[in-house]
């Protein structure tokens, strides 16, 4: 592989005008496609295989036009102190608001609070329920605007008005946070390279790659039912890996120049060596992201595949566009160790200063001398950080997790005040009595059985469909939606349903947003172990091919598990326990988002293997070329530690920018990924990895002879390049081919 990529790098360097034209054309084509494609709303949301989804599908069949999975909104009204919502003036205001809300084209129904007994016992709070024909992800902005306008008019009449429900669900804006991440990345690149031009190349190519990826997603959004949320993960991952991959190749190019090679040969060797690591690092990220499909949540699968596509683009750009741009830059990209005149370059270094080992060399030498102490300190530190993970509670956020300044949170609190905490998470019971001899008796029995359960406040009478074979019953729990008590109630109703079916032949299904959240959490929990086995197993096999070793990939996988557990512990400490919550802007602690563990495993595993491949490949390269195992560790750090550190800081900056989001879910993802990269890059890869390799010595690179002969030789270390005597002849052969 190294030889092929070497040829590709030299060819891209020589034919730089052609290569640049291809990428600009692709960017233009993707941009035109995105601009001309029909506007796509948010993708439809479904969770195949869950009871809640089965109930939604049944309601669509038995209650045509009901839009069971449609968006809902609760417009909550509160009278001024000393007044009641039943006063004539306030009643007139509410009725006017209900009439205005009913006029929307996407509105299915609006329940008048005075007709539906939706006024609190003390008369101070009332609410109007609005049901829509489409889901919250598909709702048009005009419908949301109409909802907010009606609320504003009621406020002008003297009432306190807040809006809850998923109708106001929108995709968080993240543009400003991405700009912050890019700005920090630019500073790190300038410090790393000592050159503005060299620092600009990774930024430019990463932005072009993300532009192509996100524009392609936008162009295909309507055809493939890709929502606006799909591009969020793609841009986040694409930007981070795009900068990192280009960073490694530019860094290797400057190192080759420092050894006295010509610029064309240096570009070829940079792509042949660092580019090989980029290919395999990219493959691990793609495996992790595509592997999200095992969860069988269509939206998550689409997000993973779209992000994987952006990673593939980042790899291709690093292998072709970077050497082309290096050709355009010429002598303005200086050899390693030289700075531009603008940043203080051009002054001769003293011999003592030039011979002084860099920070990476000094650190690796220390670790090699004290491997046991470093290993124990690293493992114990990560173990301590992972302790809170033992108390991990999973759930999906509701309006109660919103910042207290939002209207959704205010509506949530008003409903809890007026009607009890469980009112924010009603359960919808669907009774399918099509196979029952007496449907009405079955409906009555279901209601009676549920009334006798613990934690039930209200059970509404059954509401049958026109055929009389299916009915819905609403159950109001006594506890809030995200509580363990509500989850236990859902399971208790389902257990009762089994007994009811045995006696009446009627099937009882529990659905609604609260039940759906519980089912999604369970589905994600069940998928975590198979996902880990799939992703870690495939990557383990891939790394065996890369490193031609058993113990190095095993050590890489175990180190990753340590860093992920430590990161989950940090997430629990901040978002569940409330440690440093003020600093992180966490206004409400609660269960960790159920998608977080599997999401973190997928994204962080791919990124963690980047650092493993880039750092350890350089060690193996030194070992293959004759150095002792301990010296190879030091050599790998001398060449790679500075660049890996810069890459990790850039990755952390990109992810940490999302901590400033007002959405608790985005905030949690940003913090979790940033802290996971910190743990993995600086503790696992920079401390535990060299310590383990120092202890193992030659055994680290052991591979059974039968396996060594069976595996393909991909030559990631570039050994084949050492024996090249006439690069020009082979390049001409490539051109003729």
Residue whose structure tokens are 């809006």:
163
pLDDT at 675: 92
pLDDT digits over 90-108, tens only?
889 988 998 888 887 788 8
The tally of CA atoms less than 13 A away on the side-chain side of residue 599 is 21
Indicate whether 501 pLDDT > 90: no
Question: Radius of gyration (Cα) for the chain, nearest Å?
Answer: 30
**Both tokens assigned to 352:** 């003592």
pLDDT digits over 676-723, tens only?
989 988 999 889 999 999 998 888 888 888 887 888 777 665 656 665
Say how far apart CA 374 and CA 419 lie, in whole Å: 57
- State the average pLDDT over residues 309-331: 91
**Both tokens assigned to 613:** 């491949």
pLDDT digits over 570-587, tens only?
999 988 888 887 777 676
- State the average pLDDT over residues 387-415: 81
pLDDT digits over 192-225, tens only?
777 677 778 888 888 898 899 888 888 877 667 6
Comparing 45 with 569, which gets the higher pLDDT?
Answer: 569
Cα 250 from chain centroid (whole Å): 28
pLDDT digits over 270-299, tens only?
898 888 888 888 888 888 888 888 888 887
Determine how many CB atoms are found less than 10 A away from the CB of residue 114: 16
Comparing 432 with 140, which gets the higher pLDDT?
Answer: 432
Residues 119 and 78 sit within 8 Å (Cβ to Cβ): no
pLDDT at 535: 80
420: left (phi over 0), alpha (psi -120 to 50) or beta: left
- State the average pLDDT over residues 593-599: 80
pLDDT at 285: 84
Say how far apart CA 560 and CA 680 lie, in whole Å: 7
Cα 320 from chain centroid (whole Å): 28
- State the average pLDDT over residues 121-140: 81
Kindly report which listed range (34-48, 214-228, 414-428, 552-566) carries the lowest average pLDDT score.
34-48
Indicate whether 316 pLDDT > 90: yes
Q: Which residues lie across from 470 on neighbouring strands?
A: 432
pLDDT at 170: 57
Indicate whether 84 pLDDT > 70: yes
Indicate whether 23 pLDDT > 90: yes
Q: Which residues lie across from 127 on neighbouring strands?
A: 76
119: left (phi over 0), alpha (psi -120 to 50) or beta: beta
Residues 537 and 577 sit within 8 Å (Cβ to Cβ): no
pLDDT at 352: 45
Classified as helix, coil or strand, 23 is: helix
Say how far apart CA 229 and CA 43 lie, in whole Å: 8
- Give the burial string for 359-379 (b: 16+ CB within 10 Å, else e): ebbebbbebbeebeebbeebb
Say how far apart CA 605 and CA 291 lie, in whole Å: 11
% of the chain at pLDDT higher than 70: 87
Average pLDDT along the chain = 81
**Both tokens assigned to 220:** 């295909």
Say how far apart CA 312 and CA 320 lie, in whole Å: 13
pLDDT digits over 149-162, tens only?
888 988 998 899 99
User: Distance of CA 401 to CAs 117, 390, 406, Å?
Assistant: 27, 22, 10
Comparing 338 with 520, which gets the higher pLDDT?
Answer: 520
pLDDT at 244: 82
Say how far apart CA 116 and CA 441 lie, in whole Å: 25
**Does an H or E element contain 626, and which?**
none
Indicate whether 499 pLDDT > 50: yes
User: Distance of CA 288 to CAs 83, 131, 162, 388, 688, Å?
Assistant: 58, 38, 41, 25, 23
**Both tokens assigned to 350:** 């003293």
Q: Residue 450 phi/psi, 5° resolution? A: -70, -35
Q: What's the CA angle centered on 174, arms 173 and 175, to 5 degrees? A: 105
Indicate whether 59 pLDDT > 80: yes
Kindly report which listed range (142-146, 348-352, 551-555) carries the lowest average pLDDT score.
348-352
- State the average pLDDT over residues 443-472: 86
pLDDT band at 28 (very low <50, low <70, confident <90, very high): very high
């Amino acid at each position: 592989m190294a030889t092929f990529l070497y040829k590709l790098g030299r060819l891209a360097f020589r034919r730089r005008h052609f290569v640049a034209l291809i990428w600009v054309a692709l960017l233009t084509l993707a941009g035109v496609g995105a601009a001309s494609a029909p506007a796509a709303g948010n993708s439809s949301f479904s969770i195949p295989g869950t009871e809640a989804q089965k109930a939604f599908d049944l309601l669509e069949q038995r209650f045509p036009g009901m839009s069971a999975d449609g968006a809902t909104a609760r417009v909550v009204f509160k009278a001024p102190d000393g007044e009641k919502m039943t006063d004539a003036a306030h009643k007139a205001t509410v009725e006017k608001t209900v009439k205005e809300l009913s006029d929307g084209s996407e509105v299915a129904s609006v329940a008048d609070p005075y007709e539906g007994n939706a006024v609190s016992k003390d008369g101070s709070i009332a609410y109007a329920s609005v049901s829509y024909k489409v889901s919250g992800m598909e709702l048009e902005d005009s419908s949301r605007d109409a909802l907010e306008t009606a609320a504003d008019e009621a406020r002008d009449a003297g009432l306190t008005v807040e809006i809850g429900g998923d109708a106001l669900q929108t995709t968080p804006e993240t543009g400003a946070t991405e700009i912050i991440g890019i700005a920090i990345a630019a500073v790190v690149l300038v410090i790393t390279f000592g050159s503005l031009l060299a620092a600009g190349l990774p930024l430019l190519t990463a932005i072009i790659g993300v532009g192509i990826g996100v524009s392609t997603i936008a162009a295909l959004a309507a055809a493939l039912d890709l929502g606006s949320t799909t591009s969020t993960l793609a841009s986040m991952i694409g930007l981070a890996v795009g900068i990192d991959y280009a960073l490694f190749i530019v860094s290797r190019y400057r190192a080759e120049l420092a050894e006295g090679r010509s610029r064309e040969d240096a570009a070829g060797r940079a792509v042949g060596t660092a580019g090989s690591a980029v290919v395999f690092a990219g493959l691990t990220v793609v495996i992790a992201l595509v592997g999200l499909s095992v969860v069988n949540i269509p939206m998550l699968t689409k997000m993973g595949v779209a992000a994987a596509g952006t990673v593939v683009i980042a790899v291709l750009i690093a292998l072709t566009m970077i050497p082309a741009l290096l050709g355009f830059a010429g002598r303005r990209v200086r050899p390693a160790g030289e700075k531009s005149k603008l940043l203080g370059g051009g002054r001769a270094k003293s011999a003592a200063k030039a011979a002084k080992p860099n920070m990476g060399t000094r650190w690796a030498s220390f670790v090699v001398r004290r491997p046991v102490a470093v290993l124990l300190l690293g493992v114990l530190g990560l173990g301590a950080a992972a302790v809170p993970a033992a108390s991990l509670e999973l759930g999906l956020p509701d309006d109660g997790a919103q910042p207290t300044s939002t209207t959704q949170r205010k509506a949530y609190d008003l409903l809890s005040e007026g009607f009890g905490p469980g009112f924010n998470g009603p359960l919808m019971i669907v009774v399918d009595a099509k196979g029952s001899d007496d449907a009405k008796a079955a409906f009555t029995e279901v209601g009676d059985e549920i009334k006798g359960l613990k934690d039930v406040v209200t059970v509404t009478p059954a509401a049958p469909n026109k055929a009389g074979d299916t009915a819905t019953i609403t159950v109001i729990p006594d506890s809030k939606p995200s509580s363990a008590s509500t989850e236990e109630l859902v399971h208790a109703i389902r257990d009762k349903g089994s007994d009811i079916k045995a006696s009446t032949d009627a099937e009882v299904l529990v659905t609604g947003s609260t039940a759906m959240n519980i089912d999604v959490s369970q589905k994600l929990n069940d998928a975590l172990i198979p996902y880990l086995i799939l992703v870690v197993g495939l990557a383990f096999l891939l790394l065996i091919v890369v490193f031609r070793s058993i113990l190095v990939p095993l050590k890489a996988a175990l180190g990753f598990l340590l860093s992920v557990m430590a990161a989950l512990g940090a997430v629990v400490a901040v978002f569940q326990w409330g440690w440093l919550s003020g600093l992180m802007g966490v206004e409400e602690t609660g269960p960790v988002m159920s998608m977080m563990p599997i999401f973190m495993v997928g994204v962080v595993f791919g990124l963690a293997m980047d650092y493993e491949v880039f750092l350890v490949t350089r060690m193996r390269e030194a070992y293959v070329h004759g150095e002792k195992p301990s010296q190879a560790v030091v050599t790998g750090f001398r060449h790679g530690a500075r660049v890996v550190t810069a890459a990790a800081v850039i990755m952390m900056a990109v992810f940490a920018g999302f901590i400033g989001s007002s959405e608790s879910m985005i905030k949690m993802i940003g913090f979790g990924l940033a802290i996971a990269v910190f743990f993995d890059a600086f503790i696992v890869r920079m401390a535990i990895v060299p310590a383990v390799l120092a202890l193992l010595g030659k055994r680290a690179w052991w591979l059974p002879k039968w396996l060594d002969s069976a595996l393909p030789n991909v030559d990631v270390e570039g050994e084949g390049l050492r024996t090249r005597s006439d690069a020009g002849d082979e390049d001409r052969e490539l051109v003729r081919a």
